[in-house]
């Protein structure tokens, strides 16, 4: 039990004013300097709240009644918004979300990066911020003996059965519902996480926005898929434009979605899509940005910040399937891409060939190991582009960048906190953060991507 004696006690009901939002979208109120985190509350709102948990430096409360509403509050259009953990901001107007994301980036740069004077531009949003996702990964389970497929309830592993998600492309909804109905018809068992039994673990749908191509991936616990032939025939019949049906086998007790083994059951191994003028081959496990429209905005900005004139050598660390590399190759003399996932590099090489680029070299490995090797071979980058995972750049990679001394670094970030930490390291090593452009890749969620221009002092 908590022994903390603070300005509030558990189960106390108090009136508070919301001052801010946390990075995961909860409202923040202060009671004599003590922070209370209140989900689904918005800045400026006066609310009656019930304290549900008290810790030493902060506590949690829930809204009992809203006494004064924010002008940015809207009615969430999704019927399961309050149960599903997929979106966090459907109660906040779209303009309010864009301002929240800009402020979040600014605050973190000041607090963690000690960079109070860097220009953070307004977040670039979408004209139509719904139905943007080109990939659905939907867990399948059993409830009272029946197969269900949907998203997890917030902070739980209970599946909420659903037939549509407002941020998914309609084609993905159609795929998931169709596969679910066919699986039910043939008595396929959903996966039970606790008992580690059942057949179908996940359904993954991928959609090429500009080509219309559709891929269905059935992730199963074992190789066995009863009535496989009938299931394949029905999927082909029910889903127009389907190009690929794939089975992935994941026998492990894990919450990782994909297993190691993938087999094409019908059609092609790849579907295709384009970003700008560049065509990409996408396999079941390829990493490909889920919002193609905003990806183009993001990459155009990265290209703009790289300031290429045609004579530059560029290194793309964390290159994935070569998406940014190929954008850069349109305007650079030579591009080197490095990525730790071997399948991604095979895809990157295929994509370079597909588009006829001969000024791109790809290598498998950790960027912090491959880049010094390139340097030893005489590669002198004018520009280094990094697009790391949420944990940010590896420390050794930042040291390597500082040794290589490029004129410019373009940092594409999906986590403002690790971005701020890494910018501090580059600043201390003789670089200057010039400007930051947030891009809203995931409307209605708290996530924000940024592109940052960093130049040698």
Q: Which residue in the block uniquely carries the two structure tokens 């004696």? A: 5
Are 369 and 289 spatial neighbours (Cβ–Cβ below 8 Å)? no
State the catalytic residue, choosing from 78, 165, 393, 414.
Answer: 414
pLDDT tens figures, 111-137? 999 999 999 999 999 999 999 999 999
- Residue 153: the pLDDT is 85
Q: Which residue in the block uniquely carries the two structure tokens 């606790």? A: 194
Helices (H), 140-267: 170-185, 228-238
Q: Which two tokens stand for residue 302?
A: 């990265």
Are 321 and 272 spatial neighbours (Cβ–Cβ below 8 Å)? no
Is 50 exceeded by the pLDDT of residue 76?
yes
Residues linked to residue 109 through DSSP beta bridges, in sequence order: none
Are 49 and 63 spatial neighbours (Cβ–Cβ below 8 Å)? yes
Contacts for 155 with CB less than 8 Å, ≥ 6 apart: 85
Is 60 exceeded by the pLDDT of residue 56?
yes
Backbone angles phi, psi at 218, to 5 degrees: -100, 115
- Residue 152: the pLDDT is 86
pLDDT band at 4 (very low <50, low <70, confident <90, very high): low
pLDDT tens figures, 265-289? 999 999 999 999 999 999 999 989 9
Residues 30, 36, 38, 44: what is their CA dihedral angle, to the nearest 10 degrees?
Answer: 0
Is 70 exceeded by the pLDDT of residue 2?
no
Q: Which two tokens stand for residue 176?
A: 């998931």
Is 50 exceeded by the pLDDT of residue 73?
yes
Is 80 exceeded by the pLDDT of residue 6?
no
pLDDT tens figures, 386-425? 999 999 999 999 999 999 999 999 999 999 999 999 999 9
- Residue 252: the pLDDT is 97
- Residue 3: the pLDDT is 57
Are 434 and 445 spatial neighbours (Cβ–Cβ below 8 Å)? no
Residues 311-323, mean pLDDT to the nearest whole number: 96
Distance from C-alpha of 316 to C-alpha of 306, rounded to nearest angstrom: 11
- Residue 41: the pLDDT is 97
- Residue 155: the pLDDT is 78
Distance from C-alpha of 168 to C-alpha of 176, rounded to nearest angstrom: 11
Q: Which whole-number Å values give the CA distances from 243 to 207, 353, 437, in the listed order?
A: 10, 21, 37
Question: What does the angle CA 240 – CA 246 – CA 250 come to, to the nearest 5 degrees?
Answer: 140
DSSP-assigned states of every residue in 350-361: HHHHHTT--SEE
Are 82 and 62 spatial neighbours (Cβ–Cβ below 8 Å)? no
Distance from C-alpha of 159 to C-alpha of 324, rounded to nearest angstrom: 35
Backbone angles phi, psi at 393, to 5 degrees: -80, 145
Distance from C-alpha of 448 to C-alpha of 220, rounded to nearest angstrom: 33
Q: Which two tokens stand for residue 3?
A: 């022994």
Q: Which residue in the block uniquely carries the two structure tokens 């304290």? A: 51
- Residue 181: the pLDDT is 96
Helix (H) or strand (E) holding 325: helix 323-329
Distance from C-alpha of 255 to C-alpha of 157, rounded to nearest angstrom: 10
Q: Nearest Cα to 444, choosing from 92, 67, 71, 79? A: 92
Complete domains list, the chain, with CATH = 13-68 (2.40.50.140), 102-126+291-456 (3.40.50.150), 135-275 (2.40.50.1070)
Is 90 exceeded by the pLDDT of residue 156?
no
Q: Nearest Cα to 236, choosing from 212, 262, 216? A: 216
Q: Nearest Cα to 270, choosing from 215, 232, 343? A: 215
- Residue 5: the pLDDT is 65
- Residue 269: the pLDDT is 96
What three-state secondary structure class fits 139? Answer: strand
Distance from C-alpha of 52 to C-alpha of 259, rounded to nearest angstrom: 40
Residues 293-309, mean pLDDT to the nearest whole number: 97
- Residue 13: the pLDDT is 97
Distance from C-alpha of 191 to C-alpha of 248, rounded to nearest angstrom: 14
Per this entry, what is the length of the chain?
Answer: 457
Residues 425-441, mean pLDDT to the nearest whole number: 98
- Residue 392: the pLDDT is 97
Question: Any idea what DSSP says for residue 160?
Answer: E
What three-state secondary structure class fits 242? Answer: strand
Is 80 exceeded by the pLDDT of residue 222?
yes
What three-state secondary structure class fits 313? Answer: strand
Residue 319 catalytic?
Answer: no
Is 50 exceeded by the pLDDT of residue 1?
no
N-to-C CA span, the chain = 53
Average of per-residue pLDDT values in the chain: 95
Contacts for 104 with CB less than 8 Å, ≥ 6 apart: 21, 23, 416, 446, 448
pLDDT band at 144 (very low <50, low <70, confident <90, very high): confident
Determine whether 120 is exposed, middle or buried from the number of CB atoms within 10 Å of its CB (0-12, 13-18, 19+). buried
Q: Which whole-number Å values give the CA distances from 205 to 49, 254, 285, 366, in the listed order?
A: 41, 21, 11, 30
**What is the sign of the dihedral through the CA atoms of 69, 70, 74 and 80?**
negative
Contacts for 360 with CB less than 8 Å, ≥ 6 apart: 322, 325, 326, 329, 334, 335, 336, 337, 352
**Greater pLDDT, 422 or 2:** 422
């Amino acid at each position: 039990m908590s022994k903390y004696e603070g300005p509030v006690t558990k189960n106390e009901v108090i009136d508070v004013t919301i001052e801010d939002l946390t990075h995961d979208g909860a409202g923040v109120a202060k009671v004599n300097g003590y922070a209370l985190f209140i989900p689904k509350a918005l800045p400026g709102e006066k609310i009656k709240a019930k304290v549900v948990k008290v810790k030493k430096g902060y506590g949690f409360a829930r809204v009992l009644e809203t006494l004064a509403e924010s002008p940015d509050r809207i009615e969430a259009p999704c019927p399961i918004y309050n149960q599903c953990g997929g979106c966090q901001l459907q109660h906040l107007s779209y303009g309010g979300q864009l301002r929240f994301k800009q402020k979040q980036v600014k605050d973190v740069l000041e607090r963690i990066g000690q960079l109070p004077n860097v220009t953070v531009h307004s977040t670039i949003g979408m004209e139509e911020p719904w139905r943007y996702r080109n990939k659905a990964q939907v867990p399948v389970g059993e409830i009272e003996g029946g197969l269900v497929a949907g998203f997890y309830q917030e902070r739980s592993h209970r599946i909420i059965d659903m037939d549509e998600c407002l941020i998914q492309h309609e084609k993905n909804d159609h795929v998931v519902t169709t596969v679910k109905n066919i699986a039910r018809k043939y008595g396929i068992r959903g996966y039970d996480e606790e008992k580690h039994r059942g057949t179908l673990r996940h359904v993954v749908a991928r959609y090429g926005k500009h080509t219309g191509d559709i891929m269905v991936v059935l992730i199963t616990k074992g190789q066995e898929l009863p009535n496989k032939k009938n299931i394949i025939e029905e999927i082909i019949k029910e889903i127009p434009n389907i190009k690929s049906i794939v089975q992935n086998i994941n026998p492990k007790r894990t919450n990782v979605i994909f297993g190691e083994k993938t087999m094409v059951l019908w059609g092609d191994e790849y579907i295709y899509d384009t970003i700008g003028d560049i065509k990409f081959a996408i396999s079941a496990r390829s990493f490909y940005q889920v919002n193609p429209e905003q990806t183009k905005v993001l990459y155009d900005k990265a290209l703009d910040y790289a300031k290429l004139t045609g004579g530059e050598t560029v290194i793309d660390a964390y290159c994935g399937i070569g998406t940014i590399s190929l954008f850069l190759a349109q305007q650079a003399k030579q591009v080197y891409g490095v990525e730790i996932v071997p399948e991604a590099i095979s895809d990157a090489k295929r994509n370079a060939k597909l588009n006829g680029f001969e000024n791109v070299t790809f290598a498998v490995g950790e960027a912090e190991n491959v880049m010094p090797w390139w340097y030893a071979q005489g590669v002198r980058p004018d520009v280094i582009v990094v697009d790391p995972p949420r944990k940010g750049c590896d420390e050794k990679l930042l040291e390597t960048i500082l040794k290589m001394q490029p004129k410019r670094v373009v940092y594409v970030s999906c986590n403002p906190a690790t971005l701020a930490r890494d910018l501090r390291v580059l600043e201390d090593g003789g670089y200057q953060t010039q400007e930051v452009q947030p891009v809203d890749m995931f409307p209605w969620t708290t996530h924000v991507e940024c592109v940052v221009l960093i130049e040698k002092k």
